[in-house]
Structure 1
C-alpha cells in the first residue's frame, strides 16, 4: 500500500517535529510572553508607571534668612471608570486570538506534512512498480537470448529485448531520483531522517469544534471589537493623582511646618486624538468581519471539494484495479503463447508495457485514496 518503515515515528510525531522547526511557530509561541505581560499590565490598579518627585527651595543664594522648603511627592496615572475592565477584556481577547492562531498554523503545517508524506508514498510506489517491471523484462530478455542462441528467435528480437531492459533501468533511475526529491522535501520540513508508518487515516465523523481556521478569524474579530471598546473608554489620557509632603522653615530661628497636599491632573481628549484611533479600530472590525464570513464560505467549499475528491478517488481505484486485473490476465496468456511460439516478442512487450502501466495506475490510485482521506480530515480541521 503506502511507503512505511517499521519503528519510525507516527504522523503526529512528524507534525510535532515540523512544528519545532517552523519559524512561524517559534514566533507565535514567543508572543505568549507578550500577551501575558499585557494581561498583567491590564490587571494593574494604576494606568502606568508611578513617579517620585523631590523638590527643594532655599534662600541661601538670595536673602540668606534661613528659609528652606523641601517637598517629596508620589504620583501615578489611574484608570477612569470602565477603562480597566475594557483593557482586561482586550488583553484576554488578544491571548485567545494568539492561541487560535497557533492552532490554525499547526493545522496548516499538518496539511503540509500530510501532502509531503503522501508524495513520498506515491514516489515509492512508482519506484517499486518500475523495479518490478525491470526485473520482469530482464527475465524475458534472458529467455529471448536463450532462444536466439538456440535459433528459435532472430537476433533482432534479442536486441529489442535488451533495449526494453535498458529503458526500464532508465525509468528506475528516474523514479529513484523522484523518490529522493520527495524524501528531501519531507526531511527539510520535519528534520526526521525516517518516514513514519503511513496508513490511510480514518475519516472523522464530524468537523472539529471549534475548527481552528474559523476560531482564528472569530477571535480576531473579538479582539478588534475589544480594541474599539478600549478606544471608546479612553477618550483621553488617564488622569494623574499625586500625593506630596512639604516641610517649610521661614528662617533660622523659626519653627518648621509640615503640610500634605493632593494634586490631580486631568487631560482633555480631543477629536484630533480620538478620531484616528476610532477609525483604525472600526477598520479592523470591518476587515475581521469580512474575513470571518469568507472563511466560513471557503471552509464549506473545501469540505465539499474534499468529499467529492474522495468519492472520485474511490471510483478511480475500482476502475484501476479492474483494469490491472484484466491486463495481468492478458499478459499471462500472451506469455504462454510466446513460450509456445504462437505470439511474437513485440506482442509480449506491448502486453508487458500495458500491464506495467495498469499496475502503476492502480498503485497510484491507492495512494490517491489515502491522500483523499488525509485531505478530508484536513478540511474538517482534524489534527493528527
Structure 2
C-alpha cells in the first residue's frame, strides 16, 4: 500500500506541466492556436457586428466630406399662370438648381473628423478584440481548472479504492473489524461521487468554451516562460489607444463645428421663360447667392455639445489611463502572490504526503487505527488537490498579467 501511495506523490515541477487541452482521444481535431481561437470567438460575437457598423459609418462620413458640395443639391421649379385681357393669358416658368457650398476650411475639417472617426472605429475594434480575447482566455483556464479537479478526484478515488480493497482483504483475514471495512467503503463511494461531480463540471466548462468559440478543442496551454516578467516594458494598451482615438475624434469634431458657424451658402442657377399669347417669348438666366446668417441660437447648442463631447473624452482618457495603471499594479501583485502560494502549497502537499505514507506504514503494521490513516490520506489528497488548483491559478494569474499589459494571448 505504501508503494501505491508513493506512486502518486509529485512535486511542484510536475504541476507546471500542461494538462491535455481537451482530454480527447482517437481522431480528435488538432488543437487551434490562440489567434485562431480568438478569431473564432470574434466571428460569433456582437462586438464584431458593432465594429463593422462603426467602420461603415466612418466610411460614409468620409464619403460625404469628400463630396464637391457641402450638401445635396436641390432643384427648384416655379410656374405662374396669369390672366390678361379676355381671350389671352401668360405663363411664367422658372427652373433653378441650388448648390450648397463649403465654408472656408469646413471641408478639410470634416475630412479630418472623418479620418479621426475611422481611426477611432479601428481602435475600438482592437480594444473589443482584446477584451474578447480575455474572455476566451478565462474560458480556457476554466476548463484547465476543471481538468485539474478531475485529475485530483480520480487520484482520490483510486487511493480510496485501493485502501478499501486492502482493508477488505485484511477483514477477511481477521486482522481488522467489519466496521473498518464499512468506513473504507464509505470513503471509496465518496471518492467516486467526487469524481462524477468533477467530470460533470468539466463538461459544463467545455460546453461554455464551445459556446464562446465554436471550437471543440483548446489551444495549447501557455508555459510560464511565455508570460513577460513584471519588469517588462509596457506596450500601448488597446483600451488606452481607443480612449486617445476618441479624444482626437472629439477634438476634430469641435474644430468642424467652429468652422461651420452658419448653414451652407447656396449658389443658385436659374433659367426663366415667359410666354404670352400673341407676344414674343421672353427667356433669361440668372445667378443668385444665398448666404445664411450666423446666429447664437443656432451655434451655441452645437458648440456646447461639441465642447461637452471633447471634455468628456478627455476625462474618459484620463480615467482609462488611471484604471489601466491600477489593473496592472494589481495583476503584478496577484501574479507574485500566486507564485508564492504555489510554492507553499507544494511544500505543504509534500509534507502531508510524507506523513500519510508513514501513517500508512504504521497502519499496515497494525500500529495505527484505520481512522487515523484515513485522516492522513484525506489531508494529503486535499493538499495535493489544492496544489493542482493553485498551479492552474498561478498560470492564470500570469495570463491575466499579460492581459493587463494589453497583450493578446
| Aligned equivalent of 1:207 | 234
Work out the CA distance in 2 between the residues paired with 1:249 and 1:21. 67
Matched, 1:163 2:186: yes
Q: Which runs of 4+ in 1 moved over 6 A?
A: none
**Contact in 2 for aligned 1:2/1:122 (Cα 8 Å):** no
**Contact in 2 for aligned 1:217/1:292 (Cα 8 Å):** yes
Which segment drifts farther, 49-58 or 29-38? 49-58
Equivalent positions of 1:54-65 (< 5 A) are 54-59=77-82, 65=88
**Contact in 1 for aligned 2:21/2:217 (Cα 8 Å):** no
SS of residue paired to 1:194: coil
Work out the CA distance in 2 between the residues paired with 1:229 and 1:2. 56
**Contact in 2 for aligned 1:67/1:250 (Cα 8 Å):** yes
Matched, 1:237 2:294: no
| Per-residue deviation, 1:66 | 6.7
Q: How many residues align?
A: 382
Equivalent positions of 1:67-216 (< 5 A) are 67-200=90-223, 202-204=226-228, 205-209=232-236, 211-216=237-242
**Contact in 2 for aligned 1:21/1:190 (Cα 8 Å):** yes
Matched, 1:39 2:62: yes
| Per-residue deviation, 1:20 | 1.3
**Contact in 1 for aligned 2:90/2:277 (Cα 8 Å):** yes
Q: Deviations over 1:171-212 (max 9, x none)?
A: 112222322232232222222222332223612343233x11
| Per-residue deviation, 1:328 | 2.3
| Aligned equivalent of 2:5 | none
| Aligned equivalent of 2:287 | 262
SS of residue paired to 2:394: helix
Work out the CA distance in 1 between the residues paired with 2:79 and 2:314. 57
SS of residue paired to 1:264: strand
**Contact in 2 for aligned 1:48/1:77 (Cα 8 Å):** yes
Q: Deviations over 1:343-376 (max 9, x none)?
A: 2212221111111111111111110121011101
Q: Deviations over 1:50-92 (max 9, x none)?
A: 1223334455786655745443322111111011111111111
| Aligned equivalent of 1:339 | 364
**Contact in 1 for aligned 2:69/2:100 (Cα 8 Å):** yes
Q: Deviations over 1:82-116 (max 9, x none)?
A: 11111111111111111111111111111111112
**Contact in 2 for aligned 1:247/1:258 (Cα 8 Å):** yes
2:53 alignment partner, one of 30, 36, 42: 30
SS of residue paired to 1:269: coil
1:227 alignment partner, one of 244, 253, 258: 253
Q: Quote the RMSD (CA, aligned, Å).
A: 2.0
SS of residue paired to 2:269: strand
SS of residue paired to 1:37: helix
